Amino acid sequence: MKLDRTTPPPIRQLSEFSIARPERRVMKNGMPLNILNAGTEDVVRFDLLIGGGQWHQEQPLQAMFTNRMLREGTTGMTSAQIAGKLDYYGSWLELSSSVNCGFITLYSLNKYFERTLAVIAEMVKAPVFPAKELSVVTDANKQQFLVNSTRVEMIARKQLNRSLFGADHPFGRYAVAEDYDCVTPEVLRSFYQKYYHSGNCSVYVSGKVTPEVIRCVEENLGNDAWGDVKEKPVTLSIQPHTSKEKHIFVEREEALQSSLKMGAFVMDRQHPDFLKARVMVTLFGGYFGSRLMSNIREEKGYTYGIGSGIVSYPDTGILVVSTEAANEYINPIIKEVYKEMDKLRDELVPQKELEMVKNYMLGDLCRSYEGPFSLSDAWIYIETAGLDDSFFIRSLDAIRGITREEIQRLAQTYFCKENLIEVVAGKKV
């Protein structure tokens, strides 16, 4: 039978959706252990979450460099020995930090997991934060910071957050070059002692998780208490001090193009409107076929790309519209963004367009949770965001169930042009 390639195949609705839940245990020392045994290859991923990040630091860069310096030496190994062992066993180590957490992620072959995890355990339990290595790491990061500081996108993003939260808020306060010179071993040890202990961490293991893998985790990190164990830190809420200035221009005479960021406070992830608002924002500017892309990129040709999304923080969220374009197109782009907001507020979305967005988001939902490591990312997100296990099913129901009328109501509620702050970084036209 010859295929008729002139007729596309019918679009089928997602009939069912389920996401594997982790097996949750508590180890002898009280640390939570989350197990996602969903792999077929002899590879395992180990994640240690530490409950201390940017929100908790006493000075800029403290959380990031405390986490980053774990691999630079312990009481029993130099940085070269740590790197050599991990390389020899074909493992991969990632160290990162976020607003409220530090992350240690290890990818390892099952047959070498015991040896590689022993290295990680020593890094976590006995770091020394050597001054010589710290100087090298901070100098390299400072140079990268100076390069990034000239990028108009970075300038605009920082200025938007500063304008929304205020310069004294943890989310509006950014490091300057001099802050890199103030990072000392003592500063890092202080942060480490407060937050890196068995009472403030949790573990995720994913992939081909065998009883041997679990035994290794328990022996290395789960049997005895380690670190200066104390109660988990309480994250205090801090009120933003939003700028009254709505149009902010940061001049960069040498810029070949300008960066535009538009933002306003909307809702946090716990708000009943959050999941359906994500659908509305995706339709507006969250994928390649969105209203903003169709108008500003495809029809007008003002930019290569423009997008919108809800950026979530503890206790709040920000609606952000972002693009980069030639300097002379920035003002026309702003007008078109407001025009598209007005259309969503004033007119019902065509049903066909809404179905297209739903199908895109449902497909993206399935792709996001198809492998063991992406499953691990999903449940780590649930923990760090303070969400419940029903979040994924509620996300599915919100996408499936949202109506044209709800899209319009959400646009009328959250597309408040008077609340948006416009930040442009670039050259004066």
Instruction: Quick: pLDDT tens for 370-380.
Output: 789 999 999 99
Considering 187, 222, 257, which residue would you say is the last residue of a domain? Answer: 222
Q: Is residue 186 domain-shared with residue 335, that is, in the same domain?
A: no
pLDDT of 16 reads 61
Instruction: Quick: pLDDT tens for 293-352.
Output: 999 999 999 999 999 999 999 889 999 999 999 999 999 999 999 999 999 999 999 999
pLDDT of 243 reads 95
pLDDT of 167 reads 92
Looking at this protein, which amino acid is placed at residue 41? Answer: E
Closest C-alpha among 244, 251, 273, 247 to residue 261? 247
CATH number of the domain bearing residue 174: 3.30.830.10
pLDDT of 381 reads 95
| Range name among 32-36, 52-56, 84-88, 178-182 with the lowest pLDDT average | 52-56
Strands 421-426 and 247-251, bridge-based pairing: parallel
Domain presence at residue 151: yes
How many CB atoms lie under 10 A from the CB of residue 407?
Answer: 23
Domain presence at residue 11: no
pLDDT of 216 reads 98
The whole-angstrom separation of Cα 329 and Cα 218 is: 58
pLDDT of 407 reads 98
Considering 167, 189, 222, which residue would you say is the last residue of a domain? Answer: 222
pLDDT of 9 reads 67
Count the helices and strands in the chain (H runs, E runs): 14, 11
Domain presence at residue 112: yes
Instruction: Quick: pLDDT tens for 242-298.
Output: 999 999 999 998 888 999 999 999 999 999 999 999 999 999 999 999 999 999 999
Domain presence at residue 388: yes
Q: Is residue 201 domain-shared with residue 263, that is, in the same domain?
A: no
Give the three-class secondary structure for 30: coil
pLDDT at 61 over 70: yes
Q: Is residue 94 domain-shared with residue 165, that is, in the same domain?
A: yes
Instruction: Quick: pLDDT tens for 38-48.
Output: 888 999 999 99
Give the three-class secondary structure for 144: helix
Q: Model confidence at 237, in pLDDT bands (50, 70, 90)?
A: confident
Domain presence at residue 269: yes
Q: Model confidence at 366, in pLDDT bands (50, 70, 90)?
A: confident
pLDDT of 14 reads 61
Question: What mean pLDDT do residues 24-50 have?
Answer: 96
Q: Is residue 102 domain-shared with residue 161, that is, in the same domain?
A: yes
**Could you tell me what percent of the chain has a pLDDT over 70?**
97
Q: Is residue 191 domain-shared with residue 338, that is, in the same domain?
A: no
Domain presence at residue 384: yes
Instruction: Quick: pLDDT tens for 112-162.
Output: 999 999 999 999 999 999 999 999 999 999 999 999 999 999 999 999 999
pLDDT at 360 over 90: yes
Q: Is residue 284 domain-shared with residue 420, that is, in the same domain?
A: yes
Q: CB under 8 Å, gap of 24 or more: what pairs does 4-13 form?
A: 11/359, 13/359, 13/362
pLDDT at 424 over 60: yes
Nearest 5 degrees, angle CA 412-CA 284-CA 350?
80
Q: Is residue 208 domain-shared with residue 260, that is, in the same domain?
A: no
pLDDT at 170 over 80: yes
pLDDT of 42 reads 95
| pTM > 0.75 | yes
pLDDT of 6 reads 76
Q: What is the rounded radius of gyration, in angstroms, for the C-alpha atoms of the chain?
A: 24
Q: Is residue 142 domain-shared with residue 291, that is, in the same domain?
A: no
Tell me which residue range forms the domain holding 317: 247-426
Q: Is residue 183 domain-shared with residue 258, that is, in the same domain?
A: no
Q: Is residue 88 domain-shared with residue 218, that is, in the same domain?
A: yes
The whole-angstrom separation of Cα 38 and Cα 22 is: 10
Q: Model confidence at 11, in pLDDT bands (50, 70, 90)?
A: low
The rounded Cα 272 to chain-centroid distance in angstroms is 21
Instruction: Quick: pLDDT tens for 200-213.
Output: 999 999 999 999 99
Closest C-alpha among 333, 330, 349, 334 to residue 284? 349
Q: Is residue 211 domain-shared with residue 262, that is, in the same domain?
A: no
Q: Is residue 113 domain-shared with residue 187, that is, in the same domain?
A: yes
Domain presence at residue 10: no
Number of domains in the chain: 2
pLDDT of 302 reads 95
Domain presence at residue 5: no
Q: Do 224 and 65 meet the contact criterion of CB atoms below 8 Å apart?
A: no
Q: Please state, rounded to an integer, the average pLDDT across all residues of the chain.
A: 94
pLDDT at 1 over 90: no
